[in-house]
Amino acid sequence: MTRYVYKDYMDINEDIDQNRKDYAFGTPTFLSAEQYQSIFFNGYDTSNPVVCRLFDQMKKKKVSSFLIQYFLAYVALYSDPDWMYENMFNIYEIDKELFLEAVDQMPCAALNGMTPKELDEQVSKYEEYMKKKEEIPRQGNAHLSEKEVKKFYRYYFSLLDYTNKKFKVKPAMEINPYGSVDPQKLIDVIEVFWENKDTIIAEYLKKSPLKLSPRGMRSIEAFKDGIRDGFVLVQYEKEYAIFMNEEHVFMVKGLHVNIDEVIDPMSLPTIVTTALIPYEGHIVYDSVLQTMPIGIGPNTAKTFEKEMEKFPKLYTLKKRELN
C-alpha cells in the first residue's frame, strides 16, 4: 500500500528543519492517501470534523485567505496556539476552545507529520516509561573483576585466533590475545569455533600457544562445556542475569559491566543469541549478545516466568548438569 508523508510547503523550510532539530523527531508520521490529498488541495485535513468546524467558522467570520495561509504556516512550525489565537484570530471572535482543539489535531511539519496531541501522548508514554525504568532495582555486583575479565579475554581471544588461523575464516585478521578487539567483528570466527569447539580445544591444549599454567589449561578445557545458542534473557537478579532455553535456567555474570547495562531491563524478556561459558566458578557470556527484533507481549512474558520456575538454576556449566 502506498503511504504518503506530510510535505513541507511555503518558504519556511529552514524554520521547519530547525524546529525538527529542537524537538528531535526524526521519524516521519505517515498519513493516508486521503489525508495527504486533502492537505495538499485544501491546506488541512477535511476528514477531521473538528478541524473542519474551525475552518467553516473562519469562512463565516470572513477570515482572509492571506491570514489563513499564515496560520497554516504557523501550524506547520508547531507554534504556540495561544499566541496564534491572540495575535491572529481573537479580533474575529473565533471560538477559542474550538481553535485550540483543532490546532491540537493538525499535523505539523516540524513534528514530521505528528499532531501536537500525538506529541503529548508520546511524551506522556515516554515519561511513564522512564518512571517505570527508574523504579526497577538495578543489579549489584553482577560482573567479573577487572583481573578476571582480562584473563577471560586472553583465553578466549587466543582460542579464536587459533580458530581463525586453522579455518582461515578471516585470513587478514590477527586476533591478539593481549590486545583490544571488538567482539562484534569476530562473530564469523566465533561461530566456527563453537561449531568445532571440542576439536579446536583439544588441538589447542596440545600446542598450548600461550604456555599456560595447569590452572589456565583447565580454564580453557572448561570451554568445552560452553553453549552457543538462542536463549531468552528473562530477568535480572541482584547478582545474576537469568537466561533460559527449553531445558535449563542459567545464572549468568556480566564481564566488564552488569548485563542490565547492556540490555535495558525494560526490554525484558528478550531473545538473544550468545555463548554461555563456564569460567572461574561462574557462567559468563562471550561478550556478544545478538538480540532479535521480536517483541514479546505480557502474556508470553508471564509464560516464560512460569517456565523458568520449573527448572533448577544453574550457576556453573558441567555436562552432567545439562543431561
Contact 257, 321 (CB under 8 A): no
CA dihedral 253→259→261→267, nearest 10 degrees, is: -150
Q: C-alpha 310: how far from its chain's center?
A: 30
CA-to-CA dists, residue 144 to 14, 87, 96, 213, 260, angstroms: 51, 63, 62, 21, 14
pLDDT tens for 62-90 read 999 999 999 999 998 888 999 999 999 99
Ordered by start, the domain boundaries in the chain are 4-132, 146-322
pLDDT tens for 132-143 read 878 888 999 999
pLDDT tens for 203-246 read 999 999 999 999 999 999 999 999 999 999 999 999 999 999 99
pLDDT tens for 2-55 read 444 444 444 567 777 777 667 665 456 778 888 888 888 888 999 999 999 999
Q: Which ranges in the chain belong to alpha helices (H)?
A: 13-23, 33-42, 49-60, 65-76, 81-84, 96-103, 116-135, 146-167, 187-195, 197-207, 214-221, 298-308, 319-322
For the segment 102-122, the average pLDDT, to the nearest whole number, is 90
Q: Among 111, 106, 149, which Cα is nearest to 277's?
A: 149
User: pTM for this structure?
Assistant: 0.66
User: Phi and psi dihedrals of 251, rounded to 5?
Assistant: -95, 110
Distance CA 184, CA 289 (A): 9
Contact 251, 242 (CB under 8 A): yes
User: Phi and psi dihedrals of 225, rounded to 5?
Assistant: -85, 0
The confidence score (pLDDT) of residue 99 equals 96
Distance CA 300, CA 304 (A): 6
Average pLDDT over the chain, rounded to an integer: 89
Distance CA 40, CA 218 (A): 72
Place of cell 516540524: 110
